[in-house]
Amino acid sequence: MAAGETGENGAERTYEAMAPVYDHFTAHHDYEAWLGDLLATLERNGLQGSRLLDVGCGTGKSFLPMLPRGWEVTGCDISPSMIELARKKAGDSVRLAVADMRDLPRFGEFDLTWALDDAVNYLLSAEELEQAFAGMRKNLAGTGLLLFDVNALLTYRTFFAETEVVERGGWRLVWAGMAPADVAPGSICESTLESIPLEGAGEGAKASTMRHRQRHFPEAEVLATLERAGFECLDIYGHGLDGIPRQPLDESIHTKAIYIARPAGA
């Protein structure tokens, strides 16, 4: 993930604490179906090759469906614990590294670089966003594509303004949003996620509370930042809880915005 909570390494602290419960909290995410739809949009925009860099790969849920499709995958995340969980799932089939998306090393030349499922929203300014885009650009092949999502304003006015309790895998997970229901575009929004071990959580399981701090990025700001980082935006989609990309993007009805871009002049 990217930078987050107050302080230089806030997201690292958040996701180090969240690693044991991350897959339980996101168990309802159907990555296979979601990625199938996203790959179709990429193919319509000229996707070539099968080398993927997954930025903010977390526990590997975003790249695992790509392996049976024959993709060569490199993944990175700011949290060492999330990378370790991803390594347990993928073994030696994926190159994995700890890295901050604001200062990405050059891992190679990729046909597709993506940052999915909230990673970009942990950047808290247009400057950090531009730094991340610049790092992703230097990892792209000449015909490579960039794919990323950001949470739409509707997400911050609902999910980040509500409390949700789920019990999975021996844990009670309490999400408590702190944003107002009429939060303004471009705002920084906060929530807490409390993990409480129940019977079946496993030996040594401990309760913890994680603070999530994200920024809403309006479409105009994203497009301007892409241009400064040397990208040309090719397509924009929005989707709701069904995960199906649709156009045009409407932040009052969509929960996520999906962007596809390529290096300018490619």
pLDDT in tens, 107-141: 999 999 999 999 999 999 999 999 999 999 999 99
pLDDT of residue 5 exceeding 50, the answer is no
- Would you kindly state where each structural domain of the chain is located, as residue ranges? 10-152+217-263, 155-214
Q: CA angle at residue 129 from 177 to 163, to 5 degrees?
A: 5
24-72 pLDDT, tens digit each = 999 999 999 999 999 999 999 999 999 999 999 999 999 999 999 999 9
- Long-range Cβ pairs for the range 84-89 (8 Å, 24+): 84/19, 85/19, 85/22, 85/23, 85/59, 85/60, 86/57, 86/58, 86/59, 86/60, 89/59, 89/60, 89/64
% of the chain beyond a pLDDT of 70: 97
* Span 10-152+217-263 CATH architecture: 3-Layer(aba) Sandwich (3.40)
% of the chain beyond a pLDDT of 90: 94
**Do residues 161 and 179 lie in contact, with contact meaning Cβ atoms separated by under 8 Å?**
yes
pLDDT of residue 4 exceeding 50, the answer is no
pLDDT score of 83: 98
d(CA 36, CA 59): 19
